[in-house]
Amino acid sequence: MKLKALIVDDELHARENLKFLLENFCPEIEIAGMANGVETALEQVALLEPQVVFLDIRMSSGTEGFDFLELVPDKKFQVVFVTAFREYAIQAFNANAIHYILKPIDIEDLKVAVKKLVSTQQIFTENHGQLLNYIRSLENLSQSLLPQSNGISRITIHHAKGFKIVDPNEFMYLEGEGNYTSIIFLDGSKYVDTKTIGIYEDLLDHRYFFRIHKSHIVNVSCVKEFLNDDGHYVIMKNNTRLSVSRLRVPQFLDFFKANKKN
């Protein structure tokens, strides 16, 4: 699958550099046009109908990238944010399952982003309703990136048939499986997401979630029992037994007691 793309960046060098990298290392992308600002980008979207927009975001001087998105009447394209901002910005991108590339652009990161674009486009082709979920994720991202934001309140997860936007307070526990994470919800349902458990450790509110083991994060409010018998374990509300790493036991007990008092 070859995706038609638009590059939006106010710096000529940045536009040309990204175009060069895409043309030489990402055959799945066809560069249909480039724009140097919001107005030009709106014109190009109407004219070219791209499937992907590589969008610069300049948070130090406002959110022009989001200004552009708000003005597009019918979003039928995926967005890859190209940004130099790290820390909480990356947390917001990961929470909302939105593609991003950090400046300066790493070729391998670019290739990974493009493969995700192709995979996501296939989902949109098979289920148009998932495009609406994606647009909601973009809207959530806009709110998450506000400086006064008090953390991540919604998380977008991938599953076999598309996307699901969830409240992390509905998580009972998470289990890392290589580059994937299984999420077990309070209602017993389970989803497998493409984010690693390390990313989830960063995303989740540390007041309520604790990583008890390299493979597990638990919602402390869902812990029914702690066992110190031939090892260290917790019993969750659904009676699942999970190991607690020996090195994490003291911190977990302190964390658990502190949260039980709150």
For the segment 155-213, what is each residue's pLDDT rounded down to a tens digit? 888 777 777 888 999 999 999 988 899 999 999 999 998 889 998 998 898 888 999 99
Of the listed ranges 51-55, 96-100, 118-122, the one predicted with least confidence:
96-100
What pLDDT shows up at residue 195? 86
Q: Which of these three, 127, 144, 161, is where a domain ends?
A: 144
Name 34's Cβ contacts closer than 8 Å, sequence gap at least 6: 6, 7, 8, 9, 15, 19, 44
**What CATH code is carried by the domain that includes residue 189?**
2.40.50.1020
Return the closest-CA partner of residue 66 out of 141, 137, 149: 141
In a domain, 154, yes or no: no
Q: Which of these three, 99, 128, 144, is where a domain ends?
A: 144
Whether this model's pTM surpasses 0.85: no
Q: How many domains does the chain have?
A: 2
Q: Which residues pair with 234 in a beta bridge?
A: 226, 242
Q: Give the model confidence (pLDDT) of 208-245 as tens digits.
A: 899 999 999 999 999 999 998 788 999 999 999 999 99
What pLDDT shows up at residue 43? 94
139 and 186 belong to one structural domain = no
In a domain, 248, yes or no: yes
Mean pLDDT of the chain: 86
In a domain, 94, yes or no: yes
Copy the structure tokens of residue 88.
């909480």
**What CATH code is carried by the domain that includes residue 107?**
3.40.50.2300
Q: Is the pLDDT higher at 29 or at 194?
A: 29
- Range(s) of the domain holding residue 244: 169-261
121 and 187 belong to one structural domain = no
Residue 24 has pLDDT above 50, yes or no: yes
Q: Which of these three, 109, 144, 179, is where a domain ends?
A: 144
In a domain, 149, yes or no: no
137 and 29 belong to one structural domain = yes
Question: What are the angstrom distances between the C-alpha of 255 and each of 51, 144, 176, 211?
Answer: 46, 27, 21, 11
